[in-house]
Amino acid sequence: MKAGPNKTILFDYRLYDEDGVLIDSSPEGEPLGFVFGEGSIIPGLERELEGMEPGESKKVVVQPEDAYGLRDPRLVQQVPKEMFAGGPELEVGTSYMGKTDDGRVINFLVISIDENNIEVDLNHPLSGMNLRFEVTIKDVREGGA
């Protein structure tokens, strides 16, 4: 059975950055599962998996526009230090999770800290990157189960 819309796909993957550094991979014997067409994986990878069958392997490069998007300079912002009062002591180069005033969870990277402000980057860590995947389809099942 081929990978396609409304099918459950199980696949092993290895994800590398543009320099060939391994960023992430599925644990040995634990393939990643998703329902094709539900938007639970990046669009460029899903498109490349379509039509593949169990046992088939492929190397693909996914452009930023089909992954986590281009870097948006507007998402690098100066935030007053008092906004972080009562939280953990922040360190430059460290990623954190926080909540917006409306309760949404956000991830951010601390770029710099000065006397009054903390500069944060709200871009996804993989935004702006060409991502190289090595994938192997392990199973394709009917429906979303």
pLDDT of residue 113: 94
61 pLDDT above the threshold of 80: yes
- Which residues neighbour 105 within 8 Å (Cβ) at sequence distance 6 or greater? 97, 98, 99
Q: Where are the domains of the chain?
A: 7-65+128-142, 73-121
Q: Which residue has the higher pLDDT, 107 or 51?
A: 51
Report pTM. Answer: 0.81
* Residue pointed to by tokens 């199980």: 10
Classify domain 7-65+128-142 by CATH number.
3.10.50.40
What is the sign of the dihedral through the CA atoms of 44, 46, 51 and 55? positive
Residue 111 in tokens: 């770029």
* Residues across the chain: 145
The second-level CATH assignment, the architecture, of 73-121 is Beta Barrel (2.40)
pLDDT of residue 144: 64
DSSP letter for 88, please.
Answer: P
pLDDT of residue 69: 95
> pLDDT class for 145, splitting at 50, 70, 90?
low
CA distance 143 to 145: 6
Q: What is the pLDDT of residues 29-49, one digit of tens each?
A: 999 999 999 999 999 999 999
Residue 97 in tokens: 């999770």
Mean pLDDT of 16-23: 94
CA distance 27 to 14: 10
